[in-house]
Every structure is written in structure tokens, then in C-alpha cells.
Amino acid sequence: MFIDITVSPGSTIKNHTGGWRTFRPKTDLEHCISCATCARVCPESAVKMVDQPDGKKKPQTDYDFCKGCGVCASECPVKVIKMELEKK
Amino acid sequence: MSKPQILEGSRAIALTIKNIRPAVISAYPITPQTHIVEDLARFKADGEADYEYVRAESEFAAASIILGASATGARVYSSTSSQGLLLMTEVLFNIAGMRLPVVITCANRAVSAPINIWNDQQDVMTVRDAGWIQLFAENHQEAVTLHILAYKLAEKLRLPVMVNVDGFIITHSYEEVTIPSEKEIKKFLPDYQPKPGTYLDPANPRTLGSFATPADYLEIRQELHDDLISALPIIKSEYEKYNKLFVTVTHPVSARGGSTPLKRGIFDNGLLEYYGPAHAKTVIVAMGSVVGTIKEIIDEKKSAGGLFNSGVGVLKIKTFRPFPAEEIVAALKNIGAKNIAVAEKAVSLGYAGPLEIEIKAAIQGKIAANVKNFIIGLGGRDVTREMIRNIIEKAASKSEEVEFVGK
């Protein structure tokens, strides 16, 4: 028996690491200044700046991969991101 | 055909590695192996070798660097001793678990505390369980042989191999030795060619060293264990092949013509080597350079204080992992040993010498013999003929106590 102990890349496409989250970031988009700091600092690249109807860009979090580390909330210059306890 | 030379043990090992042509070497200096890696660095600096020589900030780094390089499908090398070996321990477990064909020389040295730079085998005993093939050299020529054999086994079996040489005794002394040339080595050891999909390659991406949950880990470890056990006959057959191509004289005593004709029951099968009469009431079991000293005494006439024709033989364990239990039992049975004196340069503190523990377990219920443990040579304490004679006298003692022989 030969057990293959190497793994195909991209296993996180199947394993959504967002399942590890305890706190979930909640962004107040009305008061967000579109500075994109949260998108830049996210260690998972789970925050993307998305075009809005008024031409501005606002952050959108992919909760499949957001691990709830809170770096976005910590770095937001206008403190519009709150970390809320994940409800399951 | 290469000519014999008088070389320092470290130099002999370095020249052998140079001719084996690894692609990446990374090492950190530590007495008494430093000469090996200094020589390898000098070869590179002088344009005599083309390997990548990566200076590492510690042994942990050096081992990690060669783990990574090996994972890309490259042949690698490092060397260490004692504290350095202990520092890279975690990486050694990773290398074995990842089934990488890494070869490392360990110039056996005592471990702190107290601080001691001289020879004993405590260092390698602490990594007994890591999943590496563990080979032990008696002298310079055997050190050369075992390094070449190591790469052949590692690359064939996907198992890392550690070649143990007694620090200072082998590394810093001069002996006659024949180093096979690069061309000669190639006849025995082909270029390393791992299967596509088993190493890091942008063209065929795989992840190595990943996670294994409780659902998978046990069988993966079992496979590593089973493959180590299956390596036993392969070590024998590869050693036989090697013997046909190269000089492997490991009995310089007998090679000199021997001082006395002996009714020899000598055999050497790659796992074990026996030197002495065909039947011997007392057998000393030992590993490494001390076996050379024991062979001298076995060949010496009684009138000179020796043990010639005294029914004493020495069983040298060349391959310690995988442990050749069956071979050992068969050998001791054939020899008819009644008193087995296990003399070793390490102690599992709080119980007994690791080799003795394993010998006792191997022969349990199979051989009716007295097994006595002698701890010798710790911290470079010179092992003398007097001590060996002392051990042989005490071999029949029924006392279960572990005996430290310091004088």
C-alpha cells in the first residue's frame, strides 16, 4: 500500500476556513470612507472593494474565508467596523 | 580504480560526499564534525564542486534548508553532532514523515550537561525513534562505504539515512582509505530522479508536509514503520552489490595478515558483522569504533594479555535502525553465546543502555543467555584493552545491574 502524502494545491477551495470564525466583522457602509485599508490589511484577502451604483467603492467581506481576526476593525481609520459574536 | 590514501576521517567523508555530488549542502559548525563541512565549503570555493552551499544560522535552519531542497527533488547533505543534532530533532521527524531521502552525518558526541565535546553515542540515541535508517561506521573505510550506501538506500526507499561516526576517533584521526571516484560511484548510485507529482515542481504543483487528521495519521505512520522494517533485506542486498564493486575492508587487523591464525566465524552482511571464533561462549555486542579495539584484543595472543582462542567474539551492529532483531537472534544462536556483554556509549537515563534493552527484548524466549549491560566511553572516556578484558570477565555475572566501566 502506498499512501500518497502529497496533496493537490487549492484544498481551501473545498475547505472554507471561515468556519473557524468566532467574531464576525460588521461594516457600517454608510459611514465608510472607501479608504480600502480593510481590504489591504486583511490577511486572508477576504475583503474586496466593490463598485457601488454611486461610483464609489465599498468593502465586501467573503465570509467563506474571513477568519474573524479583527485586523480590519483594528486598522479602520474611522472605526466603522465592529466585531460581533458569530451566531450559529 | 582509486588509490588508497592516508586521510583524516573528516576529509575522507568530505571527499566521498563531493564525489556523490549533492545539489545542496547546508550545515552549521559544531565540534567534532566541522572539518567535514569546512572541507566541503573549501571544495566549492576552489571551484572543485558545484553544489549550492548555504550557510545557515543554526542546525535547525540547516536541516530545514535541506528538507526544503530535498522536497524539490534535489540530492542534499548536512552534518552535525550532539547539541546540533538535538536542535534539529523536530526537523528530523519532519524529514522522515515526509519520506525525503536526506542523508546526514552525525559525528557522535556527548550531550550537555555537563558540556563535553568528546565522543559518545548519546546524541543519536535520542533520535532513535525518528524514522531514520541509522548506520554506524567502525573506521574510515566503513565511513566512506556507509555514506555511498546511505544515498542508495535513501533514494531507493524514500527514507532518510543517518551515518554515525565516532567523533574525534574517526573524524580527527588518520587511516588508510580508498575513496571511490565520481564515475565509480555512479555505477552503484544513479542520479536522483524522484517520480513526478511527488516533489515541489511549478509544472506539477503538489503540497508536501501537510496536515493529517486523526482519520489518516495512524496508517501513514504505520506505513513508515513497515517500510523501515522492509528495508532490512534491501540493506543487505545493496551492501552485497556494493561489496562487489568497491573496497570495503573493515577488518584492518585481519588485512594486515593477522597476528595469529584464527578459526574464524567471520561474517559481514551489511546489518551485522561478527569477528571471532565460529563458536564463542562470550559475545560482546557493540557499535562503532570501539569494535576495532575489541577485534585487536580478540586477535592478541593470551601471552600478550589477549583473548585469542578464549571463546570470545564481537558482534558489531552496523544497522541500528531498522533494528535487525531476527538477524541478531540467528547470529547469536549460531555462535552459541552463553554470556552476552552489551557494551555501549549511551544510557537511557533511568533504566539501562538502549542497545542492551533492545538486545534483551530481541532474544527473550529465544536464546537462553546471560545479558549484561556495560556503559563505556561516555564523554570521550578512552576505552582501553584493560576495560574490555574487565567486561569479558564480568560478562557471566548474574547481577542485573547496569555497570559503568570507567577504568
pLDDT single digits (tens) A67-88: 999 999 999 999 999 999 998 7
Q: What is the CATH number of domain A18-85?
A: 3.30.70.20
ipTM for the predicted complex comes to 0.72
pLDDT the model gives residue B264: 55
Q: Tell me the per-residue pLDDT of B141-179, one tens digit each, with 9 for 90 and over.
A: 999 999 999 999 999 999 999 999 999 999 999 999 999
A contacts of B95 (beta carbons < 8 Å): none
pLDDT the model gives residue B1: 66
Please state, rounded to an integer, the average pLDDT across all residues of chain B: 93
Subunit contact B207:A1, Cβ cutoff 8 A: no
> Which residues are CB-neighbours of A40 under 8 A, at least 6 positions away?
none
Q: What is the model's pTM?
A: 0.90
pLDDT the model gives residue B256: 42
Which domains occur in chain B, in start order?
4-245 (3.40.50.970), 252-405 (3.40.50.920)
A contacts of B206 (beta carbons < 8 Å): 6-9
B interface with A, Cβ–Cβ below 8 Å:
97-99, 197-198, 205-208, 210, 212, 219-220, 223
pLDDT the model gives residue B263: 46
Report the pLDDT averaged over residues B172-194.
96
Categorize the per-residue pLDDT at A15 as very low, low, confident or very high, splitting at 50, 70 and 90: confident
Report the pLDDT averaged over residues A14-39.
94
CB < 8 Å from B in window 52-81 of A: none
Subunit contact B220:A5, Cβ cutoff 8 A: yes
Determine the Cα–Cα distance for residues B332 and B363; give it in Å rounded to an integer: 9
Categorize the per-residue pLDDT at A17 as very low, low, confident or very high, splitting at 50, 70 and 90: confident
**Which residues are paired to B315 by β-bridges?**
B274, B285
Q: Is the pLDDT of residue B252 over 50?
A: no
Report the pLDDT averaged over residues A17-44.
95
Which of B206, B216, B225 would best serve as a mutation to test chain A binding (most A beta carbons within 10 A)?
B206
Please spell the DSSP secondary structure of B340-395, one letter per residue.
EEEEES---TTS--HHHHHHHHHHTTT---EEEEEEE-GGG----HHHHHHHHHHT
Q: Is the pLDDT of residue B259 over 50?
A: no
Quote the percentage of chain B above a pLDDT of 70: 95
Q: Which of B98, B198, B220 sits opposite A3 (nearest CB)?
A: B220
- Edge to edge, the sheet with strand B339-344 lists B267-268, B272-275, B312-317, B282-286, B339-344, B370-376, B403-405
pLDDT the model gives residue B235: 98
Which of A1, A3, A4, A5 would best serve as a mutation to test chain B binding (most B beta carbons within 10 A)?
A5
Subunit contact B206:A5, Cβ cutoff 8 A: no
B contacts of A2 (beta carbons < 8 Å): 223
Determine the Cα–Cα distance for residues B100 and B21; give it in Å rounded to an integer: 17
On whether any CB of chain B is under 8 Å from the CB of A8, the answer is yes
Categorize the per-residue pLDDT at B265 as very low, low, confident or very high, splitting at 50, 70 and 90: low
On whether any CB of chain B is under 8 Å from the CB of A7, the answer is yes
Number of CB atoms found within 10 A of residue B153's CB: 26
B contacts of A11 (beta carbons < 8 Å): 207, 210
Q: Is the pLDDT of residue B255 over 50?
A: no
Subunit contact A6:B207, Cβ cutoff 8 A: yes
pLDDT the model gives residue B249: 58
pLDDT the model gives residue B227: 98
Min distance B271 CA to chain A CA atoms (Å):
26
Subunit contact A9:B207, Cβ cutoff 8 A: yes
Among A79-88, B46-55, B97-106, B117-126, the minimum mean pLDDT is found in A79-88
Q: Tell me the per-residue pLDDT of B277-329, one tens digit each, with 9 for 90 and over.
A: 889 999 999 999 999 999 988 888 777 777 777 899 999 999 999 999 999 99
Q: Tell me the per-residue pLDDT of B356-390, one tens digit each, with 9 for 90 and over.
A: 999 999 999 999 999 999 999 999 999 999 999 99
pLDDT the model gives residue B248: 65
Q: Is the pLDDT of residue B396 over 70?
A: yes
The residue of chain B nearest to residue A6, with distances taken between CA atoms, is B208
Asked whether B316 and B291 are in contact (CB, 8 A), the reply is yes
Domain extents for chain A? 18-85
Number of CB atoms found within 10 A of residue B143's CB: 28
Min distance A61 CA to chain B CA atoms (Å):
27
A contacts of B205 (beta carbons < 8 Å): 8-9
Report the pLDDT averaged over residues B242-258.
62
On whether any CB of chain B is under 8 Å from the CB of A13, the answer is no
Q: Which of A5, A7, A8 sits opposite B99 (nearest CB)?
A: A5
- Name the residue among B316, B334, B314 with its Cα closest to residue B395: B314
B contacts of A5 (beta carbons < 8 Å): 97-99, 208, 210, 212, 220
Subunit contact B219:A5, Cβ cutoff 8 A: no
A contacts of B97 (beta carbons < 8 Å): 5
Subunit contact B207:A7, Cβ cutoff 8 A: yes
Number of CB atoms found within 10 A of residue A85's CB: 9
Where helices occur in A19-78 by DSSP H, the ranges are 37-41, 71-75
